[in-house]
Structure 1
Amino acid sequence: MSSILEIHQLAVAFNNKKILKNINANIYPHQITAIIGPSGCGKSTFLKSLNRLVEDERGVTLSGQIRLDGEDTFTLSPEEVRRRIGMVFQSPTPFPFSIYDNMAYPLRYYGYGSKKKSKNLDVIIRNKLEDVGLFEEVKDSLSMNATLLSGGQQQRLCIARALAVEPEILLLDEPCSSLDVKNTQNIEMMLRALCQQYSIIIVTHNLFQARRISHRTFFILDGEIIEAGPTKDLFENPCDSRTAEYISGIYG
């Protein structure tokens, strides 16, 4: 299977402190890839490097190559990279205006609804809210301030908003960490369905979650990928003793 994203010798430092060290990895289409590892190991930095958000942080230096569908992402504008590689953060981040305007914001930013991109905004918004299982819950209150939604609804709205411009890859940084069991189950079920349309990369501290929903798993330790492979193999027969120790310490 050809990869959709190729990472070669990626290294990131903040004020000369190395956070990621010579990361080499492939991401495959229509799969969920889980990123696991202890706090502070570089998981979130890795995620933000993929869509160039990390470059907005003060004191950062970055080297290496990231290729999306064969294109070097550093030859593209950050806006174009972020359209094609969307991201959702740990805590829900709805904008403080209506549900509808939350969904319309990225569409308008990228020119949807203009003569050049004339597809009806209402159709896109409805379709994406349906994709995350939210439309039936909010269809009669699209003018309501999005910050009044429940935490689980807010997170699904943020995922729908990221999907509105049809990215190729969706990045998720611990999207369920502040949610209860029911909302976590809803998000996991939704992600399993969405990976038929998108490639998904999820950072999670929940090893049960990684094992439940992901096709492949990367274990990061001290800024390096220690082990990567099919999730079942990595959890049941880890090749590196450090992987086994991490899994047994939390999962076993």
Structure 2
Amino acid sequence: MTEPLFGVRREPSILAPGAVHVPDWLSREQQEYLLQACVDWSAANAPRTIVLPGGGRMSVRTFSLGRHWSPYRYDDDNATPPIPDWLVRAARSALTSAAEIDPAAATRDSGTAGPGPTGHAPGPAEYTPDAALVNLYGRGATMGLHQDRDEASGDPVVSFSLGDACTFRFGTPEHRGRPYTDVRLESGDLVVFGGPSRMAFHGVPKVHDGSAPSWCREVLGAEPGRVNITLRRTT
């Protein structure tokens, strides 16, 4: 983990059963590496604005690694960069860290909502995501409450935050409304959700523009916005 932000240590927390927030999980060096990787990936796979089936347009721009995502399915028909082995290893390590805080984070969808087999997923050492979504939040971009329900496996979702901080809203599997928990995610933070929270509604109602560490600007030569990388196993 990195040094505590401004000398204030932010402790890991359980957002809901099976959902864990680990502040400062990525070191500065790891964040720099990931940001540069995102620049390289996006050069080969241009980020796109997602148009939903109903005609709405998402305010974030997105590109995929591994299996290609489009609303609301994955396919292998579009050329996307593969998920590098080092990112799979990072996801396994992240899942291990989350499971130390709440073992339910490393389990499959409980079966109370959404698709997917129930019970224990393979251990963190066997976790093998086959798709990663990279979401790029420019100024004013948000993401409404939604479920990650396009994956058949029910394995946990691993999420890394880079750049600008955001307000992350985490609800329940039942509906978009209350109760939900709001937590501020900073650059380098980790969120994992699995088990009873695998199908929980979640979203980003606000990005705190201009809040990224100054070194992010040095890496990119521009304001980074918020960059979110989520890994999941789809099959």
Report the TM-score, using the length of structure 2 for normalisation: 0.28
Query: Which one has the largest radius of gyration?
Result: 1
Task: Name the structure where strand makes up a greater proportion of residues.
Answer: 2
Report the TM-score, using the length of structure 1 for normalisation: 0.27
Task: Name the structure where helix makes up a greater proportion of residues.
Answer: 1
